[in-house]
Structure 1
């Protein structure tokens, strides 16, 4: 897990109150769950007066939306790095690597994953950062799948939208299983959750390829 809890109370540096409140919200979620998060409690954790945060975050939903924006930015960096490292692979392999990067990030950052994946907790529609990042990711995935069709890795006439949806459902479902603790029961005995998830991803990619052996 790459979200180690910080100290119980950490005074913020002048000019960085917003970041301190986001960090405090993450800490609250990790220690006590989502129900424990309030703007006032985040202020207490950040070491400021109860009224100080409200010019940044008037509601809990606004605070969690900011947490989701941070999560989306970090997820985007992870996936961009994965794609940059796979420039020599074919489009369908690169599609698989984006899924693997998502799973890697989600399992190593479970608190961020829980926030970003729960639309009921955040105000997605009012956040240009979240909307634009999601649209950009969909466009990149669509481009990879279109290239896979052109190069004969997917059959001509393949419904790109359905393949994209199936891929999203697979990686999201696996990440949610990991976050909710299902792998001890449903995972492959003797195999790490990350290894099992990657094997499941590779299995599906292998099944949809039309240029395999």
Structure 2
């Protein structure tokens, strides 16, 4: 089975220790966002929160965008781990089961890490194109999705008449939109009868059911 590799990033320390300034600044930035919002982030404020001099971070981060990009890189590594673990735990050689597991892992991670999700989602806050790690890990997730759907199509497991490229886009849009709705607090007005986590899980299950060939369901 095509699988996503686990990243090798360890948990970040929350305060500066010798040799871990970058990690401390990232942790401080996440704290600022959680407490006061992303608009209050600055390199100097992160330095203050981390307990270092105002000029210390500028060797690593020359701008707010650079600092938030580092947060996004951390988020992407953790997201990659989450979806890889979910896919591995699915324990099935069926491509559509693995495909669904990736979506479920994405949703669980997003709900558990709303601050990281917010940063990684916004191309206006970060310099996505300048980050090789963001681009490569994002592409790895996309390619695994494509590979799994390709295998499902080759096995006759996809419903007839589906446009492949739009199917990939729709799957991505569904999990992203569900995560965004949950984090932004929309579920009470749109679907108040179930906890968001359960509603998201069932919505993704419905999507997989709709794209599965009748003979494969």
Mapped to 1, the partners of 2:92 and 2:205 lie a distance apart of: 18
Mapped to 2, the partners of 1:158 and 1:197 lie a distance apart of: 23
Q: CA shift at 1:159, angstroms? A: 2.7
1:41 corresponds to? 45
1:168 corresponds to? 172
- What is the aligned counterpart of 2:96 among 92, 115, 132? 92
1:81-128 per-position Cα deviation (integer Å, ceiling 9, x unaligned): 111122424111111111111000001100000000000000000000
Q: 1:11 to 1:140 in 2, by over 3 A?
A: closer
The answer to whether residue 145 in structure 2 is matched with residue 132 in structure 1 is: no
Q: CA shift at 1:156, angstroms? A: 5.9
User: Root-mean-square deviation (CA), in Å?
Assistant: 1.3
Checking the alignment, whether the CA contact within 8 Å between 2:99 and 2:145 is kept in structure 1 is yes
Q: CA shift at 1:72, angstroms? A: 0.1
In the alignment, structure 1 segments of 5+ residues that lack a partner are: 1-9
The answer to whether residue 30 in structure 2 is matched with residue 31 in structure 1 is: no
1:121 is paired with a residue whose SS is coil
Checking the alignment, whether the CA contact within 8 Å between 2:15 and 2:28 is kept in structure 1 is no
The answer to whether residue 60 in structure 2 is matched with residue 56 in structure 1 is: yes
Output the TM-score relative to the length of structure 2: 0.90
Mapped to 1, the partners of 2:159 and 2:102 lie a distance apart of: 21
Checking the alignment, whether the CA contact within 8 Å between 1:206 and 1:212 is kept in structure 2 is no
- What is the aligned counterpart of 2:108 among 104, 108, 122? 104
- What is the aligned counterpart of 1:114 among 118, 130, 149? 118
In the alignment, structure 2 segments of 5+ residues that lack a partner are: 1-13
